[in-house]
């Protein structure tokens, strides 16, 4: 098991689901975790239960000002950023019925937010010659889910962002990768219509949802010193479902 002693890791979207599981996993391995979320009370609750002086910082990733302020107080010595902030927006409608304002919100959280977070942390990492950036995308970004046009499009964009960044910072000591889960058992999934979850689960060869522990352990490895020769890459977490 890779340890994170003397490392500081920022987990965005830490109040819930995959982000919370990642924060717990990383703190358990010795990291000082900064828990960032729009849901500040939720992030504070998570941080309060973690060892190694974990803190909670409010952030709204749709706001450049909020991201700047948050990372001013998150500290300048971050070793890793784990970005789990995400939203599906309204699902279940065909693309011709997608509400443009809803599309904009999904874009601002899932894709523009990832850009703002990257801009906040990468310069310091490059200066120090070490860093790990991980954005949580989705298998929906590779194949496109029906009734989830905004989500699928923004996750595809995120995979493209990570590819570009991987090349740009390849010789700097900073790696930038994405994780593409299929369906993980989280509140986001529990909030989706049952038929949509069934549609996604049926396509997983292992025939089950992924667990939060499985997601957290994989995230921990990708942002560890052990994962040193992969960048610009999207790692699948899909129970055998491969989409290229
Ligand atoms: P979740 O809803 O449990 O957690 C998402 C977190 O993001 C919440 O704590 C929420 O407050 C935060 N957030 C939302 N908007 C924000 C904003 N503007 N600023 C800051 N924080 C904000 O969801 P989850 O299932 O844990 O998903 C985490 C990530 O994994 C998302 O990017 C999601 O798209 C992706 N993903 C999840 C699954 C799955 O099956 N759960 C599958 C594929 C990809």
Distance 171 CA to ligand 1 centre (A): 30
CA atoms of 125 and 143, how far apart (whole Å): 32
Residue, of 125 and 186, whose pLDDT is higher: 125
Residue 216 predicted with pLDDT over 80: yes
- Banded model confidence at residue 219, pLDDT cuts 50, 70, 90: very high
Check residue 153 and give its pLDDT.
98
CA angle at 187 for the pair 186 and 190, rounded to the nearest 5°:
90
Task: Kindly name the residue from 151, 169, 199, 244 that is annotated as catalytic.
Answer: 151
Query: Tens of pLDDT along 152-191?
Result: 999 999 999 999 999 999 999 999 999 999 999 987 788 8
Residue 75 predicted with pLDDT over 80: no
Report the residue among 10, 11, 13 best suited for mutation to probe ligand 1: largest number of ligand atoms under 8 A from its CB.
13
What residues does each domain of the chain span? 8-228
What is the length of the chain?
244
CA-nearest residue for atom 39, ligand 1, is 184
CA-nearest residue for atom 26, ligand 1, is 17
Report the residue among 12, 15, 18, 46 best suited for mutation to probe ligand 1: largest number of ligand atoms under 8 A from its CB.
18
Pocket lining: 61 vs ligand 1, CB cutoff 6 Å: yes
CA-nearest residue for atom 24, ligand 1, is 17
Atom of ligand 1 nearest to the CA of 66: 19
Residue 58 predicted with pLDDT over 90: yes
Q: Name the least confident of 63-72, 195-204, 207-216.
A: 195-204
Distance 188 CA to ligand 1 centre (A): 7
Mean of the pLDDT values across residues 131-147? 96
Q: Decide if 151 is catalytic.
A: yes
Check residue 196 and give its pLDDT.
80
DSSP code for 110: I
Query: Residue 222, CB half-sphere, CA atoms under 13 Å: how many?
Result: 28
- For 8-228, CATH number? 3.40.50.720
Check residue 76 and give its pLDDT.
74
CA-nearest residue for atom 34, ligand 1, is 86
DSSP sequence for 133-152 = EEEE--THHHH--TT-HHHH
Pocket lining: 179 vs ligand 1, CB cutoff 6 Å: no
């Amino acid at each position: 098991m890779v340890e994170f002693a003397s490392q500081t890791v920022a987990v965005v979207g830490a109040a819930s689901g995959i982000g919370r599981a990642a924060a717990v996993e990383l703190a358990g391995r010795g990291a000082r975790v900064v828990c960032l979320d729009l849901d500040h009370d939720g992030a504070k609750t998570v941080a309060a239960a973690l060892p190694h002086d974990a803190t909670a910082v409010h952030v709204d990733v749709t706001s450049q000002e909020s991201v700047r302020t948050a990372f001013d107080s998150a500290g300048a010595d971050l070793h890793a950023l784990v970005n789990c902030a995400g939203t599906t927006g309204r699902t279940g409608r065909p693309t011709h019925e997608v509400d443009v304002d809803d599309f904009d919100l999904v874009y601002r959280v899932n894709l523009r937010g990832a850009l703002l977070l990257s801009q906040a942390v990468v310069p310091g990492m490059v200066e120090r010659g070490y860093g790990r950036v991980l954005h949580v995308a989705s298998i929906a970004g590779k194949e496109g889910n029906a009734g989830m046009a905004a989500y699928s499009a923004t996750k595809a964009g995120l995979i493209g962002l990570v590819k570009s960044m991987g090349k740009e910072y390849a010789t700097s000591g900073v790696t930038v990768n994405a994780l593409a889960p299929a369906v993980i058992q989280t509140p986001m999934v529990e909030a989706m219509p049952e038929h949509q979850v069934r549609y996604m689960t049926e396509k997983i060869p292992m025939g089950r949802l992924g667990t939060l522990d499985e997601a957290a352990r994989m995230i921990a490895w990708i942002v560890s010193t052990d994962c040193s020769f992969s960048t610009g890459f999207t790692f699948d977490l899909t129970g055998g479902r491969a989409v290229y």
